[in-house]
Structure 1
Amino acid sequence: MGLRDQLYILVLALLLWSGPAHGHSHGGGGDEHGVCGEVEGDPDTYDTNLHIAAAFIVFAASIMGSMLPVMSAYVPWLHSSTTGMEMLSSFGFGVVISTAFVHMIPPAIATLNNHCLGLDYSGIAMVIVLATIYLMQLLETELVIALTKYTSGKSNDTNQRVLESGILSTPPRSPHVGHSHGVIASGPSDEETAMRQKISVLIFEAGVAVHSIIIGVELGVSSGDEFTTILIAICFHQFFEGVAVGSSAVSAFSEMKTLVLSAFGYSLTTPVGVVIGILISSTYSDTSTTALWVKGTFDAIAGGILVYTGIVELVTYHYTTNPEFHKKNFTGRGLNYMCLYLGSAAMAIVGKWA
């Protein structure tokens, strides 16, 4: 079972046990001056059928966003436009960064500072974010080193057996490269880069999944005019975030099956949260101690994952240290920058409602 699957199960178990944060909770999990643990749901304005329909609507918005980069990579007339693909990816990178700083970290701070928790230390959310960033760096580095050694060892063993059997002969020397002896293989840097991309995408999607389930639960327990506002905002949120998920998956994986599974996995997370919200909407308080800890902690963890992924994996490796990007003229680089900023701006605007 992978890291993403483990996180899925953990957050689902915690939310089922403790319940959701009721309503739109960017303000910190309920009325700051309300009664702690009070159930605020209004059964008279709650429409179960409408909430079930909302789960399908959100799924549709999510799958459209996440499949857009995938189809762009496989549809000939879209794939032929290299510039268009780059612009789409840059937009997705901006979405990732803005999601962390607008949609995850501020709610985590507000939730963990809620008066119902009674904490004296106001920086606990940022401590969790910082710890997550350090843990991301440690895990990614050590996993890449370990997996690269493992795959390199298997490759060397295979090549040695082939050489001993006399099947493999020394290839001719290429006029374009230096001396070459034995088997020509991709350098460790290429292998490590590919491995790092796969690991970072899986961890990134795990962070997105945690956040998506939480906002799905919030939608599932909302009612009245608040429900309509949150539904519209979440549809935009999931579409833009889906573009980021799809772009990241395309950069790391080449198999169509893997890309489609990635898109569907992401698209199902928020509807799953909506279903959880429907099931517990009449019995749960957004200001219970457990609910505040669960939501605040997981928002902070997801925020830390996306900060690391967005700044280090996406912006740094694709722009700052990428020789191919440096070769572009100023106009080409400027278009990428503009799409990056537009992606962040789009999610920042959506952040007012979801």
Structure 2
Amino acid sequence: MKSPYVQLDSAGSPSIECGSIDNEVTLLGLRVGSVFIIWACSTAGALFPILSKRSKYLSVPTMVYDFAKYFGSGVIIATAFIHLLAPAIDELTSPCLGIAWTEYPWALAISMGSVFGIFFLELTAFRWGSSKLASIGLQVHDPHGHDLGHSGAHVAHGPELPHMQTDEQELPTKQKDLPVDIITPTLDSQELGVSRERGVLDTAIAQVLGLAILEFGVLFHSVLIGLTLAVDEGFKVLFVVLIFHQTFEGLGLGTRLAFMNLSRPGSNSKLHWIAPAGALIYGISTPIGIGIGLGIRTTYNPGSTSASIVSGVLDSMSSGILLYTGLVELLAHEFLFNPEIHTISNTKLIFASVSMLTGAGLMALLGRWA
């Protein structure tokens, strides 16, 4: 977002325009058409991974999903730094703002506050969810992939099985020296069913909350860039960039939604609608912003004091949300706390790393124009 507007005064010197302005109504037809074009690209990017995974007729190689997953992680992290935090710093240090805004790095402070806010929100939600599960007699598994009770070994993305005790006095002699992750107790069919049901209930809370936080941060950003597109003077360049931007971001979000597991084996889940609903909501977010921008295009000035404060604060908040989500929920869980990563071949690890860096690199490059 450009902030503030710089114009030339009667003497030919640059001056800053911070008040209300009349935006030129240029390319109005294409601006209106951008609502539908960006809606189609955003929705397609977010829905494709979900529909292809559920379809019986469309066979997509696992490697494609893996690429999209790691690519999306890179996209989200680059979006936080390049497309949210950097513009927020510019907006909250605008010459149109008073000295109270410009003498302190408010953008960074708000982003940091957002990180801690999301952390405590998750902490509270997990404690509440855990107490509810305990009240109905189900043991609690840490959805962030840590063994809560014993040695601290990581059991990422999988529930701790009932009666899995790691105290030496309760383990057979041959198992005392084995890592916790590879000790598999004998379970009867009833215990196994309870374990799976408990794991699904617990991880469902983590997945829904994590994806809700991610989408919340993405939606703020998408509405704001749609608002900017509607009135921006460099519409053509920004429009092309946003088509790729929203498609890539939708691909990353859609892949995460596609791999949500909210039902226990053998059951018909009533939560199957959550993933496509999340994709559809993402798809309309930027068009909503464009529509609002077109409606107020004659009076809205992106460089005004009020607009700079509002967009700067929202961008800062969103950057904190996506930073927390990208670094903690995605990178840490996919690489550091994921036992599969510890044992895969170097080729697969390089593939995952390059996919992530490709997503981050492309989104960072798009930041040159938007």
> TM-score scaled to structure 1, two decimals?
0.80
- The CA distance in 1 between the partners of 2:4 and 2:65, in whole Å, is 39
Picking from 186, 190, 214, the partner of 2:195 is: 186
Aligned to 1:70: 50
* Aligned residues of 1:28 and 1:113 also touching (Cα < 8 A): no
Native 8 Å contact 2:80 2:318 kept in 1:
yes
1:276 equivalent in alignment to 2:292: yes
- Which of 59, 81, 85 is residue 101 of structure 1 equivalent to? 81
| Residue of structure 2 aligned with 1:317, choices 328, 333, 337 | 333
- Indicate the residue corresponding to 2:253 in structure 1: 245
Structure 1 residues 148, 251: CA separation in 2 closer, same or farther (over 3 Å shift)?
farther
Residue in 2 that maps onto 1:217: 227
SS at match of 1:285: coil
- Aligned counterpart, 1:297: 313
Task: Name 2:359's counterpart in structure 1.
Answer: 343
* Secondary structure of 1:34's aligned partner: strand
Partner of 1:88: 68
**1:130 aligns to what?**
112
Q: Distance in 2 between matches of 1:40 and 1:195?
A: 48
Distance 1:42 1:82 in 2: 49
The runs of 5 or more residues in structure 2 that have no matched partner are 7-13, 139-162, 164-183, 263-270
SS in 1 for 2:16: coil
Unpaired runs of at least 5, structure 1: 1-24, 157-172
Q: What SS class does the counterpart of residue 252 from structure 1 fall into?
A: coil
Q: Distance in 2 between matches of 1:120 and 1:60?
A: 40
Q: Residue 215 of structure 1 contacts residue 273 of structure 1 at CA under 8 Å; is this kept in 2? A: yes
**Aligned partners of 2:216, 2:354: CA distance in 1, in Å?**
28
CA RMSD of aligned residues (A): 2.4
Q: Say whether the 8 Å CA contact 2:94–2:102 is kept in structure 1.
A: no
State the AA in 1 paired with 2:348: G
Mark the structure with the bigger radius of gyration. Answer: 2
- The total of aligned residue pairs comes to 307
1:251-266 aligned within 5 A = 251-253=259-261, 255-266=271-282
Question: What amino acid is the match of 1:89?
Answer: K
User: Of Structure 1 and Structure 2, which has the larger fraction of its residues in helix?
Assistant: 1
* Residues 190/317 of structure 1: CA separation in 2 closer, same or farther (3 Å cut): farther
Cα deviation digits, residues 306-335 of structure 1 (max 9, x gap):
000000000101111100121211101110
Q: Sort the Cα spacing of 1:146 and 1:260 in 2 relative to 1 into closer, same or farther, 3 A.
A: same
Runs of 4+ in 1 over 3 A off after TM superposition: 27-33, 75-80, 178-184, 187-194, 253-256
Amino acid at match of 1:30: Y
Q: Secondary structure at the match of 1:196?
A: helix
Match of 1:198 in 2: 208
Structure 1 residue 78, shift from structure 2 partner: 5.7
Greater mean alpha carbon deviation, residues 59-68 or residues 189-198: 189-198
Asked if structure 2 preserves the Cα contact closer than 8 Å seen for 1:79 and 1:85, the reply is no
- Match of residue 58, structure 1, among 13, 34, 38: 38
Contact 1:28 1:108 in 2 (8 A): no
Q: Distance in 1 between matches of 2:322 and 2:300?
A: 29
After TM superposition, give the deviation of residue 34 of structure 1 in Å.
1.3
Say whether the 8 Å CA contact 2:5–2:16 is kept in structure 1. yes
Structure 1 match to 2:127: 145
The farther-off stretch of 184-193 and 327-336 is 184-193
Amino acid at match of 1:266: Y
Q: Secondary structure at the match of 2:17?
A: coil
Contact 1:28 1:112 in 2 (8 A): no
1:221: how far off?
Answer: 1.5
